[in-house]
């Protein structure tokens, strides 16, 4: 997996903080050091500047980077779901208010040499996949030493939500040329049922293609997606959403059980050894 470069820690000013779906926002800030170095699948730690409640930062995946007028990546986009105290307060922040940020952190996705990339998301798990899809399709390069663009034609996002109001970023994915297919628990948009049912259908459709699956979302969904991939004989990477406190491997609060070569398992820090792992290595 691509390794994290040395992280930057700084205070940034918000440029935009806009609502894109129910309880879902996209915050944009300027930070060239991070924008130029971060890779799809890596994450940032954000903290409300000048605020000690909550005291600790929160981890958020890269959504995308944005260029300035000269074509240089200088801005970072993060998409978040309002769930607790920090995100509730962040949703009320306006342009020019400040955030403490450190990153890029963790390891990103490997850019696969396959015919089709299939991205499976549940809840807010779509956030790492806009950048990954763009890079896979050859539309954008990320990082100081970007992975070789493969310029494939097909990247598919299977996106599961509880209801239509929570569908976030639909226009962004379609505008990037990503094939978007949606499942909802209540049938208010797309397929009525689980997103893993869509995954099984797509893998049947693409049996003659060389595919790679990547997955992010609730653990039970990722476990089921991994099972579907094993049955189909398709490799799968998962980006774990384990809660983090420090983001740099000091506190050991984000450990996941990872299977070793000898069949036993041991704990690995999601923030340092992850968040991206081979799905077959996870001891669910």
- What pLDDT digit, counting tens, does each position of 174-192 carry? 999 999 999 999 999 999 9
Q: What SS3 state is found at 16?
A: strand
User: Does 116-239 match 8-105 at the fold level?
Assistant: no
pLDDT (0 to 100) of residue 146: 62
Two structure tokens written together for 271: 């923030």
The CATH superfamily of 8-105 is Translation factors (2.40.30.10)
pLDDT (0 to 100) of residue 1: 42
Contact indicator for 39, 147 with CB cutoff of 8 Å:
yes
pTM (2 decimals)?
Answer: 0.94
Rounded CA separation 152/157 (Å):
15
Name the residue ranges covered by the structural domains of the chain: 8-105, 116-239
* Residues 6 or more apart in contact with residue 172 via CB below 8 angstroms: 64, 130
Q: What is the mean pLDDT of residues 74-79?
A: 98
Rounded CA separation 28/205 (Å):
37
Percent over 70 (pLDDT), the chain: 96
Class of domain 116-239: alpha beta
User: Edge-to-edge strand order for the sheet containing 43-48?
Assistant: 58-61, 43-48, 98-105, 8-21, 24-30, 73-81, 64-67
pLDDT (0 to 100) of residue 2: 43
Bond from prior residue into 163 cis (ω within 30 degrees of 0):
no
Rounded CA separation 247/46 (Å):
10
Q: Is the pLDDT reported for residue 147 higher than 70?
A: no
pLDDT (0 to 100) of residue 245: 87
Q: Of the ranges 17-21, 142-146, 177-181, 197-201, which one carries the lowest mean pLDDT score? A: 142-146
Q: What is the pLDDT of residues 93-132, one digit of tens each?
A: 999 999 999 999 999 998 888 999 999 999 999 999 999 9
């Amino acid at each position: 997996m691509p390794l994290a470069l040395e992280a930057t820690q700084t205070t940034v000013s918000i440029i935009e903080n806009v609502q894109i779906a129910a309880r879902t926002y996209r915050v944009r800030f300027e930070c060239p050091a991070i924008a130029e170095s971060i890779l799809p699948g890596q994450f940032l730690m954000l903290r409300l500047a000048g605020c000690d409640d909550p005291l600790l930062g929160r981890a958020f995946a890269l959504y995308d980077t944005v260029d300035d007028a000269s074509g240089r990546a200088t801005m970072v986009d993060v998409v978040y779901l309002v769930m607790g105290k920090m995100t509730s307060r962040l949703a009320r922040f306006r342009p020019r208010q400040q955030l403490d940020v450190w990153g890029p952190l963790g390891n990103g996705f490997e850019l696969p040499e396959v015919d089709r990339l299939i991205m499976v998301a549940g809840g807010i798990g779509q956030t790492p996949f806009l950048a990954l899809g763009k890079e896979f399709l050859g539309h954008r390069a990320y990082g100081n030493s970007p992975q070789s663009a493969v310029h494939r034609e097909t990247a598919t996002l299977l996106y599961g939500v509880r209801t239509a109001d929570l569908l976030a970023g639909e226009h962004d994915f379609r505008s990037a040329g990503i094939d978007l297919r949606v499942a909802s628990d209540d049938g208010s948009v797309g397929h009525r049922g689980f997103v893993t049912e869509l995954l099984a259908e797509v893998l049947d459709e693409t049996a003659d293609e060389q595919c790679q699956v990547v997955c992010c979302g609730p653990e039970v969904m990722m476990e089921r997606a991994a099972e579907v991939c094993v049955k189909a004989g398709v490799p799968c990477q998962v980006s774990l959403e384990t809660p983090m406190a420090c983001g740099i491997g000091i506190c050991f609060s984000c450990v996941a059980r990872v299977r070793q070569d000898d069949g036993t398992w041991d704990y690995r820090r999601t923030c340092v050894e992850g968040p991206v792992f081979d799905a077959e290595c996870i001891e669910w």
